[in-house]
Amino acid sequence: MNIISLPPSNLDKNVWDKFVISMNIGFSFISKEWLQCLEKSFDNLKLDIIQIWREGELVGAMPCFIYGKKIIQPPSIPYMGPLIAPAASNKYSRIESNLHKFCNVLIRELLKSKYEYICFNAFPDLIDIRSFIWKNWNINVRYTYLVDFRNIDLKELWNIVDHNSRTQVRKAEKEGVVIKIEEELPEIYDIYRKQFSPKRPSRLILKKKQIEEIYYTMKKENCLKCYCAYTKNNELISFYIAAIDNKRAYLWLGGINNKFKNTQATSLMYWEIIKDLFGKVDHLDLVGANIYDIALFKRDFATHIIPFYQVELYSKSANEIAHVLKKHIARRKSE
């Protein structure tokens, strides 16, 4: 296998698009256009794409967002990789062997650079993560809710929505809440920023300029859509920006003005998004089901839940420091 690493701008678009399409997971966050946009927007991160070639064919890749001596899961991007072309075989033994060969090559390549820390969220379609487990990487199970639009009609979807949430949808409509699809971004940044704890590292929160850069660039590619909820007096209540591709849509960014939490606008927003995207994609990923209160709300609109994996590795020195600190804290508690 031949391995190269290059920035998104140097990707051969035809080769990369063919590779992405072969995985059948859609192209949100991983098309050349998305990767170039992310590279320009995250000015504090470097983006390299590890490519793995076999017999002149691209068979695997891994976008790496590099922050100093760390590879991190970038802010507000739900999944990162690794990306693996399907095996040209029906035999499961060969499919699994192909997967583990690729993962082992990727692991060796990542370890070469001696990063202090590596973290990425695998796409939910990657269910076999054992190559990393066998190499003693840390694996954390995460969850997300999906709305499956296949083999169902809108009436059935409405009946799937929890009774309390349907009541909230009707209440928001009676109060005059209106959902609009906006071409231009309204003043959403304060709402977005206030969703996060003040203790959250600033590098993990998108800046206003970054959101605008990504939105207007990817909107030209018909990959983003902004939904906004307004009061009858045209005050902005909440927003969601959906990332959309040929397979799946993702609730990429969102937030609600706490002043209007009692309007039930978010329930109406979810239902209007579901209605708008119905028939256009196979699935809507509600992006996340790991915080208890948020999970309870999203569950009311979902058709099912799926797991995905967060994969981490600390360098040996970082592990040693953590072990010393742990012992020190334990000793202080016992004094």
Whether residue 194 has pLDDT greater than 80: yes
- Give 93's pLDDT tier (boundaries 50, 70, 90): very high
Q: Answer yes or no: same fold for 2-136+308-330 and 145-302.
A: yes
Segment 216-260, tens digit of pLDDT: 999 999 999 999 999 999 999 999 999 999 899 999 999 999 888
Mean pLDDT of the chain: 90
What mean pLDDT is predicted for residues 70-99? 89
Question: What are the boundaries of each domain within the chain?
Answer: 2-136+308-330, 145-302
Whether residue 317 has pLDDT greater than 80: no
pLDDT at 331: 55
2-136+308-330, what's its fold? Aminopeptidase (3.40.630)
Whether residue 323 has pLDDT greater than 50: no
pLDDT at 324: 45
Is residue 318 within 8 A of residue 117, CB to CB? The reply is yes
Is residue 268 within 8 A of residue 229, CB to CB? The reply is yes
pLDDT at 88: 82
How far is CA 136 from each of CA 91, 96, 130, 142, rounded to the nearest angstrom?
28, 19, 10, 18
Tokens of 162: 């929890």
- Whether the model pTM is above 0.85: yes
Whether residue 262 has pLDDT greater than 80: no
What mean pLDDT is predicted for residues 181-195? 91
- Give 49's pLDDT tier (boundaries 50, 70, 90): very high
Segment 26-45, tens digit of pLDDT: 889 999 999 999 888 887 88
Whether residue 185 has pLDDT greater than 60: yes
Tokens of 64: 């790496």
**CATH number belonging to domain 145-302:** 3.40.630.30
Segment 52-71, tens digit of pLDDT: 999 899 999 999 999 999 99
- Give 261's pLDDT tier (boundaries 50, 70, 90): confident
User: 16 forms bridges with which residues in the sheet?
Assistant: none
Centre a 10 Å sphere on the Cβ of residue 167 and count the other Cβ atoms it contains.
Answer: 12
* Residue 206: its H or E element: none
